Amino acid sequence: MKVTIDHDECIGDGICENICPEVFELRDDGLAYVIAFEESPEIMAKIEEAIDECPTSAISMDEEEEEAEEG
Ligand code: SF4
């Protein structure tokens, strides 16, 4: 899995960092960044909460597949 933040959408309110500081960090430039990612159930639940709570839907989580072609 891969967590990304669309910086064109992020308004820097820090909600994601409040929910999951292990993964999200609000920096001086007013944007949130993904600083780490751990695929544990606890972290995944918090990431999903952050995705739900982000007011601009800037956070997304995608399957990271090396072969995206369908068989
Ligand atoms: S919750 Fe969304 S808008 Fe707020 S800082 Fe995080 S990514 Fe940016």
Q: 2-62 domain in CATH 3.40.50.280?
A: no
pLDDT tens digits for range 1-52: 899 999 999 999 999 999 999 999 999 999 999 999 989 999 999 999 999 9
Question: Can you tell me which atom of ligand 1 is nearest the CA of 9?
Answer: 3
Question: Can you tell me which atom of ligand 1 is nearest the CA of 14?
Answer: 5
Q: Which distant-in-sequence residues (6+ apart) come within 8 Å of 32 by Cβ?
A: 5, 10, 12, 14, 16, 17, 24, 25, 26, 58, 59
Q: Are strands 32-34 and 24-26 parallel, antiparallel or unpaired?
A: antiparallel
Which residues does a 6 A CB cutoff place in the pocket of ligand 1? 5, 10-16, 24, 26, 32, 54-56, 58-59
pLDDT confidence bin for 63, thresholds 50/70/90: confident
pLDDT confidence bin for 64, thresholds 50/70/90: confident
Q: Where are the domains of the chain?
A: 2-62
Distance 31 CA to ligand 1 centre (A): 7
Cβ distance 20 to 50 under 8 Å? yes
Distance 52 CA to ligand 1 centre (A): 11
Cβ distance 14 to 26 under 8 Å? yes
Indicate the pTM of the whole model. Answer: 0.88
